[in-house]
């Protein structure tokens, strides 16, 4: 496991603040002989340090996707599987699969299929809670479309939530990607939507706990 580069500054600043708090705790509560309170606050500082560091963890995972396998782009829970009208790029009916990412999940995002990036678009927007029905169209978000060698296209979208207020992505139009290549990161809880062709054979259901790069979402026809 490694730490994501997006967390270097936050982790450094956070740890410096926590160390300063801990030094002040030591000076004040040992002076007052309130050791029990010092130990309690020390536990709180340790927990906060752990939460900051674990949020930016990126576990080592290997991808062994078959030709038309769609792999999961993020850790989280499947909260939506439905047929919808996709209006940003396809303007037709697609299967939407939404994955909710809690603050405890890994927040790196990976390409679900291999192919050429045909579309990249960042949208400013609101910060509704990630499970809100309108978060997919009204929240701050970034949309990507990858064209598979078979000619089929898959759209996936990073969506900011009420806490997540920074979307990072690292791909551009015309770029070639492999399934499992990292394409972005969302800070502090959010959601990923995937829009698949209607004839995709799905391999997940609502409520499933999924792992990025490891769980199979389905297979292109």
Check if 190 is active-site: yes
In the block, tokens 């259901």 appear at 205
User: Is residue 51 domain-shared with residue 147, that is, in the same domain?
Assistant: no
Each residue's pLDDT expressed in tens, for the chain with a length of 221 residues: 788 778 788 889 989 998 998 888 877 777 667 777 788 888 988 998 888 888 788 888 988 878 899 999 999 999 999 999 999 999 999 999 999 988 888 889 999 999 999 999 998 866 565 555 555 666 788 999 999 999 999 999 999 865 555 788 999 999 999 999 999 998 766 889 999 999 999 999 999 999 999 999 999 98
Q: Which residue segment(s) compose the domain that 83 sits in?
A: 69-219
Alpha-carbon gap, residue 84 to 88, rounded angstroms: 12
- Give residue 42's pLDDT: 86
User: Is residue 50 domain-shared with residue 129, that is, in the same domain?
Assistant: no
- What total of structural domains would you count in the chain? 2
| Active-site option among 98, 136, 142, 190 | 190
Alpha-carbon gap, residue 219 to 221, rounded angstroms: 6
User: Is residue 209 domain-shared with residue 116, that is, in the same domain?
Assistant: yes
- Give residue 3's pLDDT: 84
Question: What pTM value is reported for the model?
Answer: 0.81
User: Is residue 78 domain-shared with residue 170, that is, in the same domain?
Assistant: yes
Burial of 136 (0-12, 13-18, 19+ CB in 10 A): buried
User: Is residue 140 domain-shared with residue 202, that is, in the same domain?
Assistant: yes
């Amino acid at each position: 496991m490694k730490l994501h580069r997006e967390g270097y500054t936050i982790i450094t600043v956070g740890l410096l603040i926590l160390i300063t708090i801990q030094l002040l705790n030591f000076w004040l509560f040992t002076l007052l002989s309130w050791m029990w309170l010092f130990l309690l606050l020390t536990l709180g500082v340790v927990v906060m340090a752990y939460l900051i560091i674990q949020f930016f963890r990126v576990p080592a995972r290997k991808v062994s996707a078959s030709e038309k396998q769609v792999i999961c782009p993020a850790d989280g829970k499947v909260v939506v599987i439905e047929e919808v009208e996709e209006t940003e790029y396809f303007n037709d009916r697609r299967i939407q699969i939404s994955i909710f990412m809690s603050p405890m999940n890994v927040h790196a995002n990976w390409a679900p299929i291999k192919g050429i990036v045909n579309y990249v678009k960042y949208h400013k927007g609101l910060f509704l809670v990630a499970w809100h029905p309108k978060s997919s169209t009204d929240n701050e978000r970034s949309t990507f479309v990858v064209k598979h060698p078979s000619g089929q296209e898959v759209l996936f979208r990073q969506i900011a939530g009420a806490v997540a207020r920074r979307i990072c992505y690292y791909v551009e139009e015309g770029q070639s990607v492999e399934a499992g290549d990292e394409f972005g990161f969302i800070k502090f809880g959010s959601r990923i939507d995937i829009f698949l062709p209607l004839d995709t054979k799905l391999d997940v259901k609502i409520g499933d706990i999924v792992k990025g790069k490891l769980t199979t979402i389905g297979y292109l026809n």
